[in-house]
Amino acid sequence: MAEIQLRNVGKRWGSFVGVDNFDLTIADKEFLVLLGPSGCGKTTTMRMIAGLEDVTEGEILIGGKVVNELEPKDRDVSMVFQSYALYPNMNVYENIRFPLRVRGIDQSTHDEKVRRASAMVELDDFLHRKPAELSGGQRQRVALARAIVREPNVFLMDEPLSNLDAKLRVSTRAQIKNLSHELAVTTIYVTHDQIEAMTLADRVVVMKGGVVQQVGSPTDIYDKPANAFVASFIGSPAMNLMDGAMSGGTFTAPNVKITGLNAPDGPLTLGYRAEDASLASDGNGQINAPIYTLELLGDATMISVRVGDALVSVKADKTYRAEIGDMVSISVPNEICHLFNANDGARIGE
């Protein structure tokens, strides 16, 4: 069993706080994604679990055992790096085999283990090649196979797809998703890409400035972001956020008036998702403004308008045609509105 517990874990360098009071239990066989912008503490958290960074405060337990003082090699974790970290002088077969040799695994089992791991990531035809003869996607699959061959209790993956082009990212992401299902090993995955987080995770931890902002399933975080930061980070496009004021149940901002809302009077941030809103053909929508830009996405047309300093958007049918500067009316029903405190960004209401 590879349940991982982080008990009030922190990392500091002098007065700088890298990770602050991280407290979470990761279930056995769970696929957990640490998500956030650069510098938020997600990679530092993973490196502390791996033993590559010392913990300043708190405890890390793997399988019920405190591992703070254990060397990385004694924690039974396998890490996949963004940079692949392959040995250029070895062919693919020997790169995959390397962890078995280092750990003194019975040599009679090496061939079977290597070929099983290579088959899982579809590398059987490349075992004789050197890393320099491989594409970026193939090199990343070698790194995955090298992690798999060890049969660890925990997989740690640090932005493994960030060096790949868009098409390869999609196919390799699908491969990782299938592998996690097939191997059923506790996995912690670091990324700044919210699409990776939404598609791969059982649970997502959203981080900012070393502090956990929200923990939940992708659906929970998408449907009920805990604060304006999470709302702005999750979704493609991200949630539209408008700064305005609430008075007597009516929210107003430049070009915006939404009535019948339940929130205290005063400054407020209101959010909605582009796919939840629609164009009001009768002109009686809650947002009325000239078109700032149109983007044809293939399956839809994204229309953006300016509200104060913000650009907010709505998804229209792919056949929709208009010109920049044309007036549009956007329907934003009450039930799709998310309300956030203007000062600290905390969610208001359910």
Its pTM stands at: 0.89
Rounded CA separation 231/300 (Å): 22
Residue 166: per-residue pLDDT: 78
Residue 172: per-residue pLDDT: 82
| Nearest one of 278, 286, 294 to 326, comparing CA atoms | 294
Residue 188 near residue 6 (C-beta atoms within 8 A) = no
Question: Of the residues 193, 228, 263, which one is the last residue of a structural domain?
Answer: 228
Question: Of the residues 176, 206, 228, which one is the last residue of a structural domain?
Answer: 228
Residue 40 near residue 22 (C-beta atoms within 8 A) = no
| Nearest one of 295, 284, 297, 293 to 330, comparing CA atoms | 284
218 and 260 both lie in a single domain:
no
Give residue-wise pLDDT tens across range 59-71: 999 999 999 999 9
Residue 1: per-residue pLDDT: 65
Residues of the chain with pLDDT under 70: 1
Residue 256 near residue 244 (C-beta atoms within 8 A) = yes
Backbone angles phi, psi at 186, to 5 degrees: -55, 125
**203-208 and 31-35 strand pairing:** parallel
As beta bridge partners, residue 143 has none
246 and 307 both lie in a single domain:
yes
State the CATH number of the domain containing residue 16. Answer: 3.40.50.300
Give residue-wise pLDDT tens across range 150-176: 888 899 999 888 877 778 788 888 888
Residue 206 near residue 35 (C-beta atoms within 8 A) = yes
Tell me the residue type at 142. Answer: V
Tell me the residue type at 131. Answer: P
Residue 274 near residue 237 (C-beta atoms within 8 A) = yes
The structure tokens listed for 319 are 């056949």
Question: Of the residues 176, 207, 228, which one is the last residue of a structural domain?
Answer: 228
CA 145 to chain centroid, in Å, comes to 23
Q: Hey, what's the torsion of the CAs at 297, 298, 302, 303, to 10 degrees?
A: 120
76 and 173 both lie in a single domain:
yes
Split into its structural domains, the chain has a count of: 2
Residue 237: per-residue pLDDT: 85
State the CATH number of the domain containing residue 281. Answer: 2.40.50.140
279 and 191 both lie in a single domain:
no
SS3 184: coil
